Amino acid sequence: EVQLIESGGDLVKPGGSLRLSCIASGFSFSNVWMNWVRQSPGKGLEWVGRIKTRHDGATTDYAAAVKGRFTMSRDDSKNMMYLQMDSLKVEDTALYYCATDFSTAYFGSWGQGALVTVSS
């Protein structure tokens, strides 16, 4: 059974930093592209970014709203994915889900989310 568990959510001040983690189990993590998707009451569901497999260069793509501030990485030896969030803004407040890629364009399995609150 696929399982994704996010951690690291917290309350942080505007301009601060936070790192989220996602641990995966139940599938061959190293062979799967991974994503972060966030959800907030004001903006609904919003794709944050994705990281490809090492075989595909472990390259990353980001949504315009977070490009240059957020960085995704993965450690296949630990079945872990990370989201480093810098220069956080109030509008980054959301529940952050990690999700597996499905057929390049979609999200097949999701975690339960990590809550990030950016507030002074």
Partner 1 sequence: EIVLTQSPGTLSLSPGERATLSCRASQSVSGRYLAWYQQKPGQAPRLLIYGASTRLTGIPDRFSGSGSGTDFTLTISRLEPEDFAVYYCQQYDASPPSIAFGPGTKVDIK
Report how many residues bind partner 1 under the rule CB under 8 A: 21
Q: Interface residues for partner 1 in 84-103 (CB under 8 A)?
A: 97, 99, 102-103
Does 77 participate in binding partner 1 (rule CB under 8 A)?
no
Give the Cα separation of 75 and 59 in Å (integer): 13
* Residue range at the interface with partner 1 (CB under 8 A); choices 10-18, 24-32, 45-53, 70-78: 45-53
Question: CB of residue 94 vs partner 1: minimum separation in angstroms?
Answer: 13
Give the Cα separation of 36 and 98 in Å (integer): 5
Cα–Cα distances in angstroms (integers) from residue 4 to residues 27, 43, 59, in the given order: 10, 23, 21
Does 120 participate in binding partner 1 (rule CB under 8 A)?
no
Exposed/middle/buried for residue 78 (C-beta within 10 Å: 0-12, 13-18, 19+): exposed
Does 111 participate in binding partner 1 (rule CB under 8 A)?
yes
